[in-house]
Amino acid sequence: MKSTDDHLKAYRTHLTGRLGLKPSSAENYFYALRSLERFLEAPAADATDHDLEEFAASMKVRNLAANTQRLRLIALRTYYDWQRPGKPNPISRISIPHEEVKDPMLITPNELVQIVVTASIPPHHDKNTEQGKFVAMRNAAIICVLADTGIRESELVNLTMSSIAQEKDHFKLIARGKTGERIIPFSKMTENSLIAEYWTVYWQYRRLYMKAKPADPLFIPQDPSSKRIVNKHMHRGGVYTLVKRLIERSPVDKPLYPHALRHFYGTYAVVNGTSMEILRQRMGHASIETTTRYVHLADLYGDPQLDKGPTSGLMAPREHRGFVKIQKELDRSSRGR
């Protein structure tokens, strides 16, 4: 038996309205509620103190991660604060595990090159088509932007052509996220650098060949039914899946996920001497405490040979340095118009 629809609707309004939780966070709170109701085979509103203690004990018996137990108990504490106002919260009798902060698996500079190169190669069935080459160019650019600016996938999908400002020897990216608008400089580029090879050509191709307007989305998807390129924003879930598959296709043998590219940015920004406050602003952290974890990661993974930015010291393998030729052709084509 579950809570009634009206009851759940009122609770959702409380979470997203009064408490201001994001829909994704509210869904996590609802999942905790459903987990309790599956355990009880009764509405959560009817749970006794003993029921809740048994539920907490069952999570330990099943060896759920401490952070999972913590999230569910905090979510239930929020629910009972709302459901039983003015009464003692039954979760207060239960010990909530401390948060476990684990060092994330990090991509090394050489592994990033391998992932970008993998992304830049069109699928075998599509390797000789213009569309296949464009999609590969886009995929490599997505990896480069995530690794060289540290933005989140949710921020990447909202980028437009006007989100990029071109300077003399580098670009600046205007990202809009949880903490508002922020400006992030790309690493300083040379002609043969990884970013110059795989990022600038994509932007120029969109601007010159595809006639993308300032308000048009920067990264555009393929329509799965027609396989045609469409001029609309990619979805966050689509970017997550795409990046994860590109990492898995690469020679990198680590259980990595797309957010590892954001960790790469934060860690190597510290290695290269970026101050904590500047890094906090660039990564869009609300608290500098979140940013300081990258000091520890930099000690673990630091490479003092890098300078001028997270990826400026990374060179594309010589056999893949073909995009610069395309860049020069684009420049000549632009001047001829």
DSSP states of 167-213 as a string?
Answer: -SS-EEEEEEETTEEEEEEPPP--TTBHHIIIIIHHHHIIIIIS---
Residues 85 and 117 in one domain: no
Domain CATH for 244: 1.10.443.10
Strands 171-177 and 180-185: antiparallel
Specify the pLDDT at position 191.
Answer: 61
* CA–CA dist 93, 60 (Å, integer): 16
Residues 89 and 203 in one domain: no
HSE-CB at 222 with a 13 A cutoff on CA atoms is 15
Q: How many CB atoms lie within 10 A of CB 149?
A: 27
Contacts 24+ apart (CB under 8 A), 44-50: 44/3, 44/76, 44/79, 44/83, 45/3, 45/7, 45/83, 47/90, 48/90, 49/90, 49/93
Residues 78 and 196 in one domain: no
Q: Which of 23, 226, 197, 180 is nearest to 113 (CA)?
A: 197
Residues 121 and 63 in one domain: no
Q: Tell me, yes or no, whether 100 lies in a domain.
A: no
Strands 164-166 and 171-177: antiparallel
Provide the number of structural domains found in the chain: 2
| Beta strand segments in 255-325, E | none
Specify the DSSP element, H or E, that contains 164: strand 164-166
Q: How many CB atoms lie within 10 A of CB 234?
A: 22
* CA–CA dist 285, 263 (Å, integer): 13
Q: Which of these three, 93, 124, 144, is where a domain ends? A: 93
Residues 47 and 124 in one domain: no
Q: Which of these three, 36, 58, 93, is where a domain ends? A: 93
Domain CATH for 48: 1.10.150
Q: Could you list the pLDDT tens digit for every one of the 337 residues in the chain? A: 556 778 888 888 888 888 888 777 888 888 899 999 999 999 999 999 999 999 999 999 998 888 889 999 999 999 999 999 999 999 999 999 887 666 567 888 889 989 998 998 887 767 778 888 889 999 999 999 999 999 999 899 999 999 988 777 678 888 887 777 898 888 877 666 777 778 888 988 899 889 999 999 999 998 766 678 889 999 988 999 999 999 999 999 888 888 899 989 988 888 777 888 888 888 898 888 888 877 766 665 554 443 456 776 677 776 655 555 555 555 565 555 5
> What's the domain range around 71?
5-93
Residues 85 and 115 in one domain: no
Q: Which of these three, 93, 123, 138, is where a domain ends? A: 93
Q: Which of 15, 24, 86 is nearest to 236 (CA)?
A: 24
Q: Residue 253: CB partners within 8 Å, gap ≥ 6?
A: none
Q: Which of 66, 7, 61 is nearest to 34 (CA)?
A: 7
Phi, psi of 5 (to 5 degrees): -60, -40
Residues 195 and 318 in one domain: yes
Q: Tell me, yes or no, whether 81 lies in a domain.
A: yes
Residues 42 and 179 in one domain: no
Q: Tell me, yes or no, whether 98 lies in a domain.
A: no
Query: Which pTM was predicted?
Result: 0.67
Residues 88 and 150 in one domain: no
Q: Residue 33: CB partners within 8 Å, gap ≥ 6?
A: 3, 8, 11, 44, 75, 76, 79
Residues 250 and 287 in one domain: yes
> Residue 220 in contact with residue 232, Cβ under 8 Å?
yes
Residues 160 and 86 in one domain: no
Residues 265 and 158 in one domain: yes
Q: Tell me, yes or no, whether 102 lies in a domain.
A: no
